């Protein structure tokens, strides 16, 4: 590529189709993330995820029973640390706003999975994710915020 004040001349094929600067920062970041996880040990990461997911499923079941649908396998070892949930009478976007106001970070919507939402019979869900940086206090904060949402929406 030759760039001048009055115009430019593109490279010839195939060089003119090259994407430009590769995502160097992202590559370095990915390498650092891989090193971090290798340092923790992926078996330990999975063990923590399963344990925390089991705690979350148990806590939500004890507090809400059938009022709160937590979609996916009930066996923690058969799922990842993602809790996709819905109340029948609270829209997921409204629920996520109340949770956000309580400092609990979640996502709401169809999560780019509309066929799955149709299969589940819901328009959207509220999704919380658990990983190595979370612990049981985060699950408790989620459950407490769900209590506030229930009170707010006069359930």
Taking Cα atoms as reference points, which of 111, 81, 71, 79 lies closest to residue 93? 111
The set of catalytic residues is 112
Taking Cα atoms as reference points, which of 138, 119, 121, 141 lies closest to residue 130? 138
Residues 6+ apart with CB under 8 A from 123: 110, 117
126, 100 Cβ separation under 8 angstroms = no
Residue 33: enclosing H or E segment and its boundaries?
helix 24-40
Taking Cα atoms as reference points, which of 134, 106, 119, 114 lies closest to residue 71? 119
């Amino acid at each position: 590529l030759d760039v001048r004040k009055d115009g430019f001349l593109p490279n010839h094929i195939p060089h003119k189709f090259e994407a430009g600067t590769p995502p160097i920062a992202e590559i370095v970041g990915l390498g650092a993330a891989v090193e971090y996880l290798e340092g923790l040990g992926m078996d330990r990461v999975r063990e923590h995820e399963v344990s925390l997911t089991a705690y979350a499923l148990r806590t939500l079941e004890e507090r809400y029973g059938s009022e709160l649908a937590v979609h996916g396998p009930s066996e923690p070892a058969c799922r990842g640390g993602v809790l996709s949930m819905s109340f029948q009478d609270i829209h997921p976007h409204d629920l996520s706003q109340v949770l956000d106001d309580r400092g609990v970070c979640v996502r709401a919507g169809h999560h780019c999975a509309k066929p799955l939402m149709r299969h589940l019979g819901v328009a959207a869900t509220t999704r919380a994710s658990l990983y190595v940086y979370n612990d049981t206090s985060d699950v408790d904060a989620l459950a407490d915020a769900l209590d506030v949402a229930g009170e707010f929406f006069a359930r």
